[in-house]
């Protein structure tokens, strides 16, 4: 068994965003996956990396969104081992998009949207689910991006003042529950706002709700880049809004490899500043699942040399054609060509796959294993085994690469500009006039992390 949990704990923690369909698959029987036995003696539980005794590999961290998970009771989150750590997403992004019940708010005037939201019961349901099922959760915020030009959000008719006011009601609700002794998980107060003025305005409204830490969304986090992240973290530090158990910061929607050691450097530096070795920075993305589920793509393990071009994830479409499904010679997922008897592709000098799949479970399987429907007119040749193999491979390869990215910087084996930029993080954190220092190094950091601001955060 390969334990990625222990390997990752030295660094800022990455949380893959677990999909509900996959989480439900993992607690099924093999017969519910397909009528024939699974190859290589596999069982659905083998794909559950949250299980600490998994015989292939284990990683004890994942993110679960309240909106899809709160109505499901039989899945890998609600049935998890207590040693695993689940971060809960309260679903502001989904509700803002008009997912689920909020879809019915579309077309209503502002007053009716606000009234419909307050009477929906969503807030209570989400907080109940978080308190029962996860270890730490982000508070439920209604996003300011709902008001962007061209938005089709049901909340686009709401003023920024009302979006913030509704969010503050949510924070007050969590606070009342805590005062009443009803608390099952930690909470991170979400900070948002794309332009700096919006960030500061939002922060002024929510800053006094100091739960267990903070979550950085939109322009305060990933979309704003390293400058905005450092700025906000140091403002929080200088205002005394860390400490007293407030020792977690979560960054939404991030998987780019150079960012992993950058966030680790921030975590290490702030631990020293605060004198708190438990201070944690984490980040998440749904990419391993989204790219596999929506696009049937798998991720190639990056090389991670001193060349910045090797610090990127490349995704490849898995072949699902009739010819692959019916090839007589077994085509290993872990090799791009046959080693002995040549398959049809090898005979033509063509590779099986654009890149080998070398994750622990994928190494046991063949392309044909994942394509059980072999008829000429089958519209979809794949099933649950294919989906879970791709998901499992994508999560493993992503987490393992993030660990290697951190290790490469620690060993001075990363691109020089990245090592240099990360070295400046500690300087910034321990400089009294840090704002001048971060301004002076803004371009260095942004270039090293290949960051380019989107127009709505300029």
pLDDT tens digit sequence for 253-286 = 999 999 999 999 999 999 999 999 999 999 999 9
pLDDT band at residue 381 under the 50/70/90 scheme: confident
Question: Which of 42, 43, 86, 93 minimizes the C-alpha distance to 67?
Answer: 93
Alpha-helix runs per DSSP H in 326-412: 344-347, 384-410
Average pLDDT (212-241) is 97
Q: What are the tens digits of pLDDT across the range 101-151? A: 899 999 999 999 999 999 999 999 999 999 999 999 999 999 999 999 999
Residues 37, 54: Cα–Cα separation, whole Å: 20
Average pLDDT (317-330) is 94
Average pLDDT (64-80) is 96
Average pLDDT (376-387) is 85
H/E stretch holding 122: helix 122-133
Predicted pLDDT at 380: 77
Question: Can you state the percent helix, strand and coil of the chain, rounding each to 5?
Answer: 45, 10, 40
Predicted pLDDT at 182: 81
Question: Which of 36, 37, 38, 54 minimizes the C-alpha distance to 46?
Answer: 54
Structure-token pair, residue 154: 């049901």
DSSP 223: G
- Annotate 153-200 with DSSP letters as a single string: -TTTTS-HHHHHHHHHHHHHHHHHHHHTT---SEEEEEE--SSHHHHH
The model's pTM is 0.97
Q: Is the pLDDT of residue 375 over 90?
A: no
Predicted pLDDT at 458: 65
Write down the mean pLDDT value for the chain: 96
DSSP 217: -
Lowest mean pLDDT among 75-79, 161-165, 321-325: 321-325
**For the domain 2-292+411-457, what is the CATH code?**
3.20.20
Question: Which of 9, 25, 4, 11 minimizes the C-alpha distance to 289?
Answer: 25
Q: Is the pLDDT of residue 356 over 90?
A: yes
Average pLDDT (218-228) is 97
Q: What are the tens digits of pLDDT across the range 147-197? A: 999 999 999 999 999 999 999 999 999 999 999 988 789 999 999 999 999
Predicted pLDDT at 403: 98
Average pLDDT (415-429) is 97
- The Cα-based distances of 125 to 34, 94, 98 in angstroms read 34, 15, 17
Predicted pLDDT at 453: 80
Residues 231, 227: Cα–Cα separation, whole Å: 6
Structure-token pair, residue 380: 């979809």
pLDDT band at residue 455 under the 50/70/90 scheme: low
Q: Is the pLDDT of residue 85 over 80?
A: yes
Q: Is the pLDDT of residue 435 over 90?
A: yes
Predicted pLDDT at 340: 84
Per domain, the residue ranges of the chain are 2-292+411-457
Helix (H, G, I), strand (E, B) or coil at 380: coil
Other Cβ atoms within 10 Å of 376 Cβ, number: 6
């Amino acid at each position: 068994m390969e334990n990625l949990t222990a390997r990752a704990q030295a660094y800022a923690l990455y949380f893959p965003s677990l999909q509900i369909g996959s989480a439900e698959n993992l607690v099924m029987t093999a017969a519910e996956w397909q009528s024939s036995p699974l190859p290589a003696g596999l069982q659905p539980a083998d794909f559950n990396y949250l299980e600490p005794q998994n015989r292939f590999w284990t990683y004890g961290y994942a993110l679960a969104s309240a909106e899809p998970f709160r109505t499901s009771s039989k899945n890998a989150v609600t049935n998890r081992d207590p040693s695993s750590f689940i971060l809960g997403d309260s679903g502001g992004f989904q509700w803002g998009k008009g997912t689920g019940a909020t879809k019915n708010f579309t077309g209503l005037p502002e007053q009716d949207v606000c009234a419909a939201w307050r009477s929906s019961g969503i807030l209570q349901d989400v907080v109940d689910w978080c308190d029962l099922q996860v270890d730490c959760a982000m508070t439920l915020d209604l996003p300011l991006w709902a008001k962007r030009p061209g938005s089709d959000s049901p909340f686009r008719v709401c003023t920024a003042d009302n979006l913030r006011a509704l969010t503050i009601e949510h924070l007050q609700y969590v606070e009342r529950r805590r005062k009443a002794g009803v608390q099952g998980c930690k909470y991170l107060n979400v900070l948002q706002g794309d332009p700096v003025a919006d960030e500061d305005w939002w922060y002024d409204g929510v800053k006094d709700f100091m739960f267990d830490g903070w979550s950085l969304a939109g322009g305060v986090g990933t979309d704003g880049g390293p400058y905005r992240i450092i700025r906000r973290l140091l403002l929080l530090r200088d205002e005394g809004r860390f400490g007293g158990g407030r020792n977690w910061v979560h960054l939404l929607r991030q998987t780019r490899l150079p960012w992993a050691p950058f966030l680790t450097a921030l975590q290490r530096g702030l631990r020293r500043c605060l004198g708190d070795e438990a201070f944690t920075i984490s980040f998440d993305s749904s990419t391993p699942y989204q790219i596999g589920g929506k696009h049937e793509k798998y991720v190639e393990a990056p090389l991670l040399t001193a060349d910045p071009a090797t610090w990127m994830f490349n995704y490849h479409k898995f072949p699902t054609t009739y010819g692959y499904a019916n090839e007589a010679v077994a085509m290993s997922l872990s090799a791009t060509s046959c080693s002995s008897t040549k398959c049809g592709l090898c005979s033509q000098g063509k590779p099986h796959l654009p890149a080998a799949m070398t994750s622990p479970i994928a190494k046991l399987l063949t392309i044909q294993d994942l394509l059980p429907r072999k008829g000429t007119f089958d519209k979809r040749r794949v099933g649950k085994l294919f989906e879970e193999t791709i998901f499992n491979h994508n999560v493993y390869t992503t987490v393992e690469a993030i660990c290697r990215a951190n290790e490469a910087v620690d060993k001075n084996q990363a691109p020089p500009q990245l090592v240099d930029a990360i070295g400046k993080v500690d300087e910034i954190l321990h400089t009294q006039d840090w704002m001048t220092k971060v301004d002076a190094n803004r371009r260095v950091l942004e270039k090293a992390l290949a960051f380019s601001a989107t127009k709505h955060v300029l």
